[in-house]
Copies of this chain bind each other. A is one copy, B any other.
Amino acid sequence: MTTIDTLPGSIVEDRYPTRCKNYPMMLRRPDPVVWPTESGTTAAGPIDADTVSDYDARGFLTIDSLLSPDEVALYRDELDRLAADPAVKADERTVVEKTSNEVRSIFEVHRISPAIAELVRDPRVVDRARQLLGSDVYVHQSRINYKPGFKGGSFYWHSDFETWHAEDGMPAMRAVSISIALTDNHPFNGGLMIMPGSHRTFVSCVGETPADHYKESLREQEIGTPDNDSLTVLAGRYGIEQFTGPAGSAVMFDSNCMHGSNGNITPFPRSNIFVVFNSVENTLVEPFAAPQPRPPFIASRDFTPVGRE
């Protein structure tokens, strides 16, 4: 086990070493999945006990109709408006597809769009995150994703936590993502695939993070990519599930779920709103395996609790 300096004068044991060896490792997760509150119990919230227990075991949960059809229409209009705005397209927080020059993602979108800021504060969203993480939460990252039809690219297998730990300095697995579908997710249009149960295993990746890695890694993951053997073991043990459902449904998943998505040749595009909540008791330190932290629009260092501003 590696020990590394994180802040002047302190030594923090790194329980999740990655990008520091020339061989991969599969490590058992010491952190809980559903975090207890200070009083030692699961926080109250909108998620029923069975679903919490299932989330604990599988690392994700789905919500059938988080948004009404009217809300879906509203947010789709907002996404179209943002993607068509020349100022937004020129913004460094916007990622443009290599080949087509089309907008693929817009980061820190809750600071760009008041409508999305409101959604992040919505009790249907933030109260679920608080319940699972057992504390107040802040937005570590927000974005909207557009995956076009016909030529939508794949997103290779990864654990978000591996990147957030290595490149952003997130200490523990105490973060949860919510992806809210604004288009129908079929089994065949490149939706999210998760290996249920994989969140209990940390796959330590080979390689060393280069400077400014985020500029490339947002387009195509290379460093921080799990090895084939680990993926084969995890897929063999846990299988693969796909998140399918109509526009307005949502999936919440633990920061360490092994997930990815295939490409999409169908005419059916996909778009979603994606928000990562991190516990205010798990704020970022120095990166564990990168020369410098990523910019704040990708990994916020404003730890103000959502709804407590």
Contact = CB atoms under 8 A, between A and B. Distances in A.
Interface stretch (A34-42, A54-62, A182-190, A270-278): A182-190
Among A149, A188, A232, A268, residue most surrounded by chain B Cβ atoms (within 10 Å): A188
B262 A190 contact: yes
Contacts of A232: 149, 267
A98 to B, nearest CB: 16
Nearest to A244: B187
Please state the number of chain copies in the assembly.
2
Interface string A156-200: 110000000000000000000000000000111010010000000
Contacts of A268: 235, 240
A260 interface: yes
A266 B193 contact: yes
Interface string A136-159: 000000000000011000101100
Q: Could you say which interface size class chain A belongs to?
A: 20 to 34
A105 interface: no
Given A154-B265, A156-B265, 14 more contacts: A150-B228, A150-B231, A154-B263, A188-B242, A188-B262, A190-B262, A193-B265, A231-B267, A235-B266, A235-B268, A240-B266, A262-B263, A262-B265, A262-B266
Interface of A: 149-150, 154, 156-157, 186-188, 190, 193, 228, 231-232, 235-236, 240, 242, 260-268
